Amino acid sequence: MFESLEGYIEAGSEEYELVHRLDLMKLPGHVAVIMDGNGRWAKQRGLSRIEGHRAGSDSVREVIEASARLGIKILTLYAFSKENWKRPRREVSELWSLLRDYLKKDADVLMKNDLRLLVIGQKEGIPRIVLKELDRVERETAANERMTVVLALNYGGRSEIVDAVKRIVRESPADPDALTEESFSSHLYTASLPDPDLLIRTSGEFRISNFLLWQIAYAEMWMTPVLWPDFRKKHLLQALVEYQQRERRFGDIRPR
């Protein structure tokens, strides 16, 4: 059961103890993460905000690897919200450059480890040079099955819902009574994905920040004061341990 973790987690470490508290057969199938705190991390160290984002990319790599090794099937990362366009132009430009560099360097890692990339959000707003790389990696990894890495880019939960309504109205404007929760879900960006089981937010904030508003209706939430650049596999394991200690009732009186 722990073969994929051999050599990755040191015996006797805190991570080792956490792993052995987990039931790897009852992990959340879909984990979503609001990656917050890059700017504060940089400010605390007298660095530029972009250095915080660069440090945060190391956390992205570690969480992807740890999730894949553990056997989580879907990992969704809130990478760039529609509200992020309000930031200084230079910071926004460097954020997209960081993503493009990541795709160029790490696409082979995704392929070698059987990881699929999926992008959700309004693609038409993404810089063309970045969108080209995203489309390439999505195509190249489309058949991979070990884990799906979902990047929420130029994403907003309200915009997603409005876009879904527009598609529904275009398809069947004369029959509103035919609309169900299931048919509505099939028009969201995440139509091919199950809803998240666990939502993680870093940096000590207690906000959803316009992220997966429809999909997280029954997700368990785990908030941590750890800033995203400091987030490592230990913290992911802590979230998973706590997740397994909760009873998920989905409105019922009996846990499922």
Burial of 162 (0-12, 13-18, 19+ CB in 10 A): exposed
* 36 annotated active-site: yes
What is the distance between the alpha carbons of residues 62 and 35, in angstroms, rounded to a whole number?
13
End-to-end CA distance of the chain: 23
Q: Report which of 255, 155, 175, 169 is spatially closest to residue 215, judged by C-alpha positions.
A: 155
User: One of 38, 58, 84, 114 is an active-site residue; which one?
Assistant: 84
User: One of 36, 38, 154, 197 is an active-site residue; which one?
Assistant: 36
Residue 248 CA: distances (Å) to CA of 181, 197, 202, 254: 20, 9, 22, 8
Q: Would you tell me how many other CB atoms lie within 10 Å of the CB of residue 189?
A: 22
CB 92 within 8 A of CB 154: no
CB 134 within 8 A of CB 103: yes
218: which 2 tokens? 């029954």
Contacts of 49 (CB under 8 A, 6+ apart): 38, 39, 42, 43, 91
Contacts of 66 (CB under 8 A, 6+ apart): 8, 233, 236, 237
Q: For tokens 């160290």, what's the residue?
A: 45
Q: Which residues are catalytic?
A: 36, 84
